[in-house]
Copies of this chain bind each other. A is one copy, B any other.
Amino acid sequence: MRETLDFLLFDWLKAADLTARERFAEHSTETFAAVLDTCERIARDKFAPFNRLADTQEPHFDGERVHLPQATHDATLAYAESGMLAAAQDYEFGGMQLPCVMEMAGNAFFSKASVAMGGYAMLTSGNASLLMAHGTPLQREVFAKNEFAGRWFGTMCLSEPQAGSSLSDVATRAELEDEADALGPRYRLTGHKMWISGGEHEITENIVHLVLAKVPGPDGKPIPGTKGISLFICPKWLVNECAELTGERNDIVLAGLNHKLGYRGTTNCLLNLGEKGQGAVGYLVGKVGDGLRCMFHMMNEARIGVGLGAVMLGYAGYEASLDYAKQRPQGRPMTAAGKDSASPQRPIIEHADVRRMLLAQKSYVEGGLALELYCARLVDELHTGDNAAEAQAVLDVLIPIAKSWPSEWCLEANSLAIQVLGGYGYTRDFPVEQYWRDQRLNMIHEGTHGIQALDLLGRKVVQQGGASLAALAARIQQTIEHAIQTDWAPQANQLAAALAQVGGATKKAWSTGEPEEALANAVPYMQAFGHTVLAWLWLDVALSVDGTSDFAQGKRAAARYFFAYELPKIGAWLDVVARREPLCRDIKAEYF
């Protein structure tokens, strides 16, 4: 995987060019490589060997404390010590000023080694970054800084038992207590927060919860919709302005741990706020009613992070099944004369169908990695590049794909990995079944598949009169124009046709202007869109490899596979979109 990662970063995405920018001027190819080396080493030594343990020794609550394996403590603290929590932050704040693409690349190793053990750090980094963007100087100093240092970990508290995807129904209530608290306007919060990853543990001495809640309007009732949502810092243990624990426990109580199918190494909690009386102490971040905007400020990075996690689970399964396929003897070639059963069995990688399953995985996971790194590179363009507007437009359209595509297709990769191992893959003696279980979360959290599809077809491709979609199409067109001059002309033509088909379906979906008609087939649309994007990236990657090394041939084979076996799937998906197929919209509930 390292070779592919290096190739994508340095040959394909020209990550080294970033060092010419002022913010990254102190970096070099060497410092970038050193970061990857460090991450690779810690992930190999501290995470990967304990991934199964974190699954089997699921977090448990003894009524007072939540217990995690010691390995989880050790691994997350080793991560914190590496400085990666603050990788993208300013030097003056203890950061490394790494480009987003390098931060993501470094984190890829941890997601591959143990996505669940890596969860605590990812949440903490995202939480603290959000405070850097929206917190007061003292909130940054007290909370963000201690999170970056790994002294405290963080969470994101959005969902509630009655409000998962529908955040406008958040019912947690925040009442003002003291406008003038140095840590920010102090409120008292009452409510229930569900699906809180990292919501309770004793890895760190404190946990910094970022909580969405509603401040009542003048009539004393919560303001309907998302406009009424504000954001609060609710530390598990109260702290003073010097970031010292006061010794007083905030009124945030663990109501229960969720027992999950996978991802078991990360605690996932139902938290009760204000159960004991006055309400949990929370300090307002940003303005009242601005909570969702603040929370979603980091959404691009969060969704790239989830997508990358999905990709790396797929990658882990791919490598495990490839390794098995090279070593496991089984069966013999079938020829027109039958099989020679007296000959020795051959490794299963010699069977075309096993190679098909490996090639599919390769195309999904390496293509997915290209997608996530490409998006991370766009984040860098957004922050330090020459044409931020263009980068923003392309990124806007790609984000729902970056989140959704690997969660669906790297799940398929994980299933194929099980299939390659056969009965052994179905046992817990091999890691592939856990990857598959862990992976299944990714279509659900951080915005479900359905939500991503609404974001794509309902907002992103139509925003500013379709300008964002046009910006992406222009980039795809560039690749096509380049490819058409090469041996890849057939694929270039195929991609051009796919792009036209996506564009046509987008128009037809919206031709009546009725959201319910356009969006009834948003998921098939997103599937087709995603496959088109991946075909484009594979073509672009294929154009950038040189020579006839095994590595180069492998990349070309995966690209060809994607065009031969995958891209043709879009027709079936787009047909229903283009004709605004009303079946699912119209069927009555009683017919089921």
Contact = CB atoms under 8 A, between A and B. Distances in A.
Given A259-B428, A261-B426, A426-B440, 5 more contacts: A162-B329, A168-B341, A261-B428, A353-B522, A571-B571
A356 interface: yes
A514 B261 contact: no
Contact of A422 (B164, B352, B572, B591): B164
Contacts of A370: none
A83 interface: no
A561 B332 CA distance: 41
A589 interface: yes
A442 to B, nearest CB: 10
A198 to B, nearest CB: 15
Nearest to A347: B589
A336 to B, nearest CB: 6
Given A353-B450, A356-B584, A569-B569, A427 B258 contact: yes
Interface centre among A333, A359, A513 (most CB of B within 10 A): A359
B561 A583 contact: yes
Interface in A296-316: none
Interface string A511-534: 001111001111110000000000
Given A260-B428, A350-B589, A345 B169 contact: yes
Interface in A424-455: 425-429, 433, 436-437, 440-441, 443-445, 448-450, 453-454
A530 to B, nearest CB: 15
Interface in A274-297: none
Nearest to A330: B166
Interface residues of A, number: 103
Given A415-B440, A524-B565, A355 B427 contact: no
Give the number of copies in the complex: 2
Contacts of A590: 550
A345 B166 contact: yes
A516 B335 contact: yes
A422 B419 CA distance: 26
A437 B584 CA distance: 28
A362 interface: yes
A335 to B, nearest CB: 6
A553 interface: yes
A137 interface: no
Contacts of A583: 359, 557, 560-561, 564-565
Given A418-B440, A576-B564, A550 B428 contact: no
Given A164-B423, A259-B427, A341 B226 contact: yes
Contacts of A453: 353
A437 B440 CA distance: 11
A349 B113 CA distance: 38
Interface of A: 159, 162-166, 168-169, 194-195, 224-226, 258-262, 322, 326, 329-336, 339, 341-342, 345, 347, 349-356, 358-359, 362, 411, 415, 418-419, 422-423, 425-429, 433, 436-437, 440-441, 443-445, 448-450, 453-454, 458, 513-516, 519-524, 550, 553-554, 557, 560-561, 564-565, 568-569, 571-572, 575-576, 581, 583-585, 587-592
A269 to B, nearest CB: 12
Contact of A575 (B339, B520, B568, B588): B568
A17 B449 CA distance: 47
A224 B260 CA distance: 48
7 contacts: A225-B341, A261-B427, A356-B523, A423-B444, A554-B591, A564-B575, A571-B572
A519 B450 CA distance: 37
A564 B454 CA distance: 21
Contact of A159 (B168, B349, B423): B423
A354 B451 CA distance: 11
A339 to B, nearest CB: 8
A333 B224 contact: no
A272 to B, nearest CB: 17
Nearest to A411: B415
A573 to B, nearest CB: 9
A411 B263 CA distance: 20
A516 B159 contact: no
Contacts of A584: 352-353, 355-356, 359, 561
Contacts of A458: 334
A542 to B, nearest CB: 13
Interface centre among A345, A422, A513, A553 (most CB of B within 10 A): A422
Contacts of A565: 524, 572, 576, 581, 583
Given A423-B445, A519-B334, A591 B351 contact: no
Contacts of A427: 258-261
A341 B224 contact: yes
A100 B431 CA distance: 40
A448 B419 contact: yes
Interface centre among A353, A355, A568 (most CB of B within 10 A): A353
A261 B522 contact: no
B335 A515 contact: yes
